[in-house]
Amino acid sequence: MRRLLGALGAAFAVAGCAAPQPPATPDAPTPALPTATPAPAAPALLVAAGDIACRPHQRPDDEDLCAQKTTADLVIGLKPTAVLALGDTQYDDGSPDEYESYDASWGKFKDITLPVVGNHEYQTPDAKGYYEYFGDAAGKAGEGWYSASVGEWRVIVINSECAEIGGCDAESPQGRWLAEQLDGAPRCTIAAFHRPRFSSGLEHGGDPALEPLWAQLADGGVDVVLNGHEHDYERFLARDADGRVGTGPVEFVVGTGGHSLRAFSRVERGSEVRWDDSVGVLAMTLRPDGYDWRFVGPEGTPPVDSGTGTCREQ
């Protein structure tokens, strides 16, 4: 049969007749596939405070002095993505034995804590107790600076105990490291260190020695700076390295982590909110292009401060 069909085909060809073909039809359009839209990144919740734990057995949970358990309960209730412990984590001198008190309170969320070294930690030589307790999370011993990601944000942790690390200027080891971090930073960035550049606090006030550090942060596009050291809560408008209001990072001083409170001595330029009537923590919701904040105190605390901000253009 195949040979017969082949012969017939050859006969048609010889006769000049083409085999019949079906009529041409235009190609049907290929249906467009739906384009997947990436889901927006879920906001991250960062909770921060410094100046936290009294030494063991020193008036535990006294609201006037040792309220580290109260603030720990606030943190637990907020269910944060990450916790920033803004220095002076353990009084009086941050010795290894004293960290028993921090561990019994804020140690409950140690696994998600980004620690910051403060001046009281260095009352133990080389801040040995601090580095032993927090381990790799504290950065390299002897340095105390490192960076981490929280959601879409970069958190840059800095050591503000300048005399312990060879200075805080741009040419210091930390300053050179910071320049590299800022060069590769995403749009939204937080810097965290213990001593505030600006403060209306009674005990210490702002530290002018940190002006070169602030200049790097302001020029590098950092959005928010978080500090402790003064035992109060204060929020500043954006300020540049010279203290002029209008550009630069927004600074929050959150020294209300549990160890006593102090009054304000004056009102520093650019200070928007001041609070020294209760302990508490700062809760920051970090979105890909901005942030929301609110101060969270114990039950009965009135609304202290809240708001929203947009990340600076790089």
Q: What is the pLDDT of residues 99-133, one digit of tens each?
A: 999 999 999 999 999 999 999 999 999 999 999 99
Among 82, 231, 258, smallest CA distance to 157 is for 82
Please give the chain's pLDDT, 314 residues, in tens: 333 334 334 333 333 434 444 444 445 455 555 555 556 668 999 999 999 999 998 765 555 689 999 999 999 999 999 999 999 999 999 999 999 999 999 999 999 999 999 999 999 999 999 999 999 999 999 999 999 999 999 999 999 999 999 999 999 999 999 999 999 888 899 999 999 999 999 889 899 999 999 999 999 999 999 999 999 999 999 999 888 999 999 999 999 999 999 999 899 999 999 999 999 999 999 999 999 999 999 999 999 999 999 998 76
Cβ–Cβ under 8 Å, residues 195 and 227 = yes
Total Cβ atoms within 10 A of residue 292: 15
Residue 36, pLDDT score: 56
Residue 38, pLDDT score: 57
> pLDDT, tens digit, for every residue of 259-273?
999 999 899 999 999
Q: What is the pLDDT of residue 82?
A: 98
DSSP 60: T
- In this predicted structure, what is the pLDDT of residue 148? 97
Distance, CA of 304 to CA of 56 (rounded, Å): 30
Give me the helices (H) in the chain, please.
2-14, 68-78, 99-105, 128-134, 173-183, 211-219
**Looking at residue 66, what is its pLDDT?**
93
| Long-range CB contact pairs, 210-213, < 8 A, 24+ | 210/160, 210/162, 210/168, 211/241, 212/168, 212/169, 212/170, 212/175, 212/241, 213/158, 213/160, 213/168, 213/169, 213/175, 213/178
Residue 279's pLDDT is 96
pLDDT at 7: 39
Predicted local confidence at residue 6, as pLDDT: 41
pLDDT for 58: 79
| Model pLDDT, residue 1 | 38
Q: Per the confidence metrics, is the pTM higher than 0.75?
A: yes
Find the largest Cα–Cα distance for the chain: 114
d(CA 271, CA 250): 10
Query: Do 255 and 84 form a contact (C-beta atoms < 8 A)?
Result: no
What is the pLDDT, as a whole number, of residue 265?
86
Q: DSSP E strands: which ranges in 141-289?
A: 146-150, 153-157, 189-192, 224-227, 233-236, 250-254, 271-275, 281-287
